Amino acid sequence: MAIETRINNAAYERLALAEPEFKWELWDGVLREKPPMSDAHDWLMTKVGYFLLSQLDWSEYQVRINSSRVRRPESTYFIPDVLVLPTTYTAPFRDRPDLLSMFDPPVPLIVEVWSRSTGDYDINEKLAVYQQRGDLEIWCFHPYERTLSAWRRLPDGTYEQSHYREGIVRPAALPGVEIDLAALFTM
């Protein structure tokens, strides 16, 4: 649902804190509620989060599942399906219920899972913003086609795209982490 009234960052942050039961995103100043997703979407998102959590050092990284926001300062806040960030990024928000958990610096990994309601704009709109932010790796899983499309940031700031249907995938920015697509796509 899009509300066509433009709001600024401060108004968005107040609203998101006041209405935590809604998944509010802000797209170039326009407020949108992240819609409910299918069971396949939610289960795949949860499994990806679990696989990452089980392999990462919690003192170095946190994994957020459909909860925290990444921000492009020009009035855009997205809630990725799965987000991996260095623990140091969370310091300003610890023990601060008055602050919205949001992250400006590039993160090691953002994951989106395709759904009928958001599939088009996850690729057409969100991907471009994640790349503008400089996020190191962006993954988009398709739960029905059982595929992964990945964009990895190169040293020159461009992105290399890869597609996977099977095998082990290793996020470049997270040494030692492996995602077995066969295990992931087994329901």
Backbone angles phi, psi at 65, to 5 degrees: -115, 110
Of 46-55, 145-154, 178-187, give the lowest mean pLDDT range: 178-187
Strand, coil or helix: 51:
helix
Backbone angles phi, psi at 63, to 5 degrees: -115, 125
Strand-strand pairing, 76-78 and 69-72: antiparallel
Backbone angles phi, psi at 45, to 5 degrees: -60, -45
Q: Which two tokens stand for residue 81?
A: 């399906």
29: left (phi over 0), alpha (psi -120 to 50) or beta: left
Confidence tier at 4 by pLDDT (50, 70, 90):
low
Residue 119 scores a pLDDT above 70: no
Distance from C-alpha of 187 to C-alpha of 170, rounded to nearest angstrom: 21
How many Å is the maximal CA-CA distance in the chain? 45
Confidence tier at 76 by pLDDT (50, 70, 90):
very high
Confidence tier at 120 by pLDDT (50, 70, 90):
low
Average pLDDT over residues 159-181: 96
Residue of 105, 60, 109 whose CA lies nearest to 87: 60
How close are the terminal C-alpha atoms of the chain, in Å?
Answer: 30
pLDDT, position 5: 76
The single residue listed with the structure tokens 């610096």 is 105
Average pLDDT over residues 2-11: 79
Give tens-digit pLDDT for 150-162. 999 999 999 999 9
DSSP single-letter state for residue 175 = T
Predicted structure pTM score: 0.92
pLDDT, position 1: 52
pLDDT, position 38: 85
For domain 38-67+80-185, give the CATH number: 3.90.1570.10
79: left (phi over 0), alpha (psi -120 to 50) or beta: beta
DSSP string of 124-152, one letter each residue: IIIHHHHHHHT-SEEEEEETTTTEEEEEE
